[in-house]
Amino acid sequence: MISRYFALTTCLLLGPIMLGIIIFITKAGFVYDEPWYYENIISLSKLGLSYDFILHLKGPPGPLHAIIYYPLYKIFGLNIHLFRFYGLVLSILSLYLLSQVRINGLKIGWDVSLIFACPVFYVVSGLALTEVPSLLFFSASLLILSKASLQNKSLLPWVLSGLLLSIAICGRQPAMMFTPAVVLSYIYIQRKELINKYRNLTKPILFSVSSCILPFILFTIWHGIVPKIGGADATRESFSLINGLLGLGYLVVFIFFLFPEAVFYEIKRKFRLLLVCLILISLANVFFFHQEFYFINSVVKQHLSPGLFKLYGLLGYSLLIVLSLLSLFIFKTLIIVNKENFFKLSCLLGLFFITITCAKVTHQFSSRYVYQGIFLTIPILAGAYQTSKISTMINAAGIIIGLFSYISYLSL
């Protein structure tokens, strides 16, 4: 049996160190969505934190990214290497805050390093994108909420946690889905007392109101949940059921790299059902529907012929649909196990709600959207991680895939 802490330390050291080295040795300029968000920083420099700045933001997210990166821009200008490294530093700081969360009286601690086994960590943290600042304040909100859940009288931590979540929502709007998750979890846990004492709802009400303060200002200016100009395409239709299913499917993939045993356990229980579904959906998709989705598209495309690449996409789409079903089985099992633990139940519902917001982004699907909730898997599964040679190899595979995926992005 491999030492549990050896596996965790390996994940902690190899991933971010290699990412930091790649950030500084690469010569790649702006890639992916980076140019959009750099324009917001320049706009902030010219307009200040004004009505016009907020109204004309480029891209769907709020102004948090520009505000957080603005001091770096004023000191160093648009230095691509420093901006990307700054994102990595913020990610590590977010994980430090998450490591201080207490579950059943024990700190999560080194278990947070398992995030480095998630392949998308490297793209999100290695490029100066909007998820990182949002996750920093989301982690802070989780830390304060975990403390609030252990206190019976004080209301201040509930307000502070809500305010921090309010800031996180200004970075990525899906974070707002954590608010109903907390409220519903609190009502369920306190269901017996709430029958006769409605005043016990003070805590979730304070949390909800404080979490809505800043988003309310933004949404009022935008007349919607995204900027009127930069975010119009992202929500131009009501919703996309397929993107919601793809979000759930990708979540299983991420959990597999972080906590393989959680996925193996559910596969063993539902193996026959999942296998039949995979065969039937794959045949239907190849011959009739022709829907395609590509795991680590930028890496695989370079190594497969056009014919095999298309088949890879058809089968990949079918697999993700089946994985979305598997994800529902996993949620059901975890909710049954943790239904009397307020903080874990909040994280579970929050993870589910944030993941299904992928259905609201109708113009495309990206694994980055699912990553916005992945931090919540750590409090849910912390302490349940059983290290073995196979799980350590899977963690290492996640790191390797993530690094290669990041390099591929820089090569576009």
Does residue 337 lie in a domain region? yes
Whether 215 and 166 have beta carbons less than 8 Å apart is answered as yes
Does residue 13 lie in a domain region? no
Say how far apart CA 24 and CA 26 lie, in whole Å.
Answer: 6
- Helix/strand/coil for 26: coil
- Helix/strand/coil for 102: strand
Q: What is the pLDDT of residues 61-120, one digit of tens each?
A: 999 999 999 999 999 888 888 999 999 999 999 999 999 998 877 888 888 888 999 999
Task: Give alpha helix (H) positions in 78-130.
Answer: 80-99, 120-126
Angle, helices 80-99 vs 4-25, to 10°: value is 160
Q: Exposure pattern of 266-284 as b/e (b: 16+ CB <10 Å)?
A: bbeeeeeebeebbeebbee
pLDDT in tens, the chain (412 residues): 455 566 666 666 788 999 999 998 888 777 878 888 888 999 999 999 999 999 888 888 999 999 999 999 999 888 888 999 999 999 999 999 999 998 877 888 888 888 999 999 999 999 988 999 999 999 999 999 999 888 777 889 999 999 999 999 999 999 999 999 999 999 998 877 766 665 678 899 999 999 999 999 999 999 888 887 665 555 655 677 778 888 898 899 999 999 888 899 899 999 999 999 999 999 998 888 888 877 766 667 777 777 888 888 888 888 888 989 999 999 999 999 998 899 999 999 999 999 999 888 777 778 888 999 999 999 998 776 567 778 888 888 999 999 998 988 887 5
Say how far apart CA 300 and CA 303 lie, in whole Å.
Answer: 5
At 299 the pLDDT is 67
Closest-CA residue to 163 (of 99, 226, 224, 208): 208
Contacts of 69 by beta carbon, 8 Å cutoff, 6+ apart: 37, 41, 83, 86, 128, 133
Does residue 282 lie in a domain region? yes
- Number of structural domains found in the chain: 1
| The residue to which tokens 């996180």 are assigned | 168
Q: What is the pLDDT of residues 18-30, one digit of tens each?
A: 999 999 888 877 7
Does residue 259 lie in a domain region? yes
Say how far apart CA 393 and CA 312 lie, in whole Å.
Answer: 24
At 6 the pLDDT is 64
Does residue 264 lie in a domain region? yes
Whether 28 and 129 have beta carbons less than 8 Å apart is answered as no
Contacts of 327 by beta carbon, 8 Å cutoff, 6+ apart: 248, 249, 251, 252
How many CB atoms neighbour CB 154 within 10 A?
11
How many CB atoms neighbour CB 369 within 10 A?
24
Closest-CA residue to 114 (of 266, 261, 281): 261
Does residue 288 lie in a domain region? yes
| Longest Cα–Cα distance in the chain | 67
Q: What is the pLDDT of residues 246-272, one digit of tens each?
A: 889 889 999 999 988 889 989 999 999
pTM here? 0.90
Say how far apart CA 155 and CA 163 lie, in whole Å.
Answer: 13
At 362 the pLDDT is 75
Say how far apart CA 139 and CA 149 lie, in whole Å.
Answer: 15
At 1 the pLDDT is 46
Residues constituting the chain = 412
Does residue 295 lie in a domain region? yes
Q: Which phi and psi angles does 107 have, rounded to 5°?
A: -70, 145
Token pair listed for 323: 């994985």
Does residue 360 lie in a domain region? yes
Q: Give the structural domain span for 370.
A: 237-381
- Helix/strand/coil for 103: strand
Closest-CA residue to 238 (of 221, 225, 228): 225
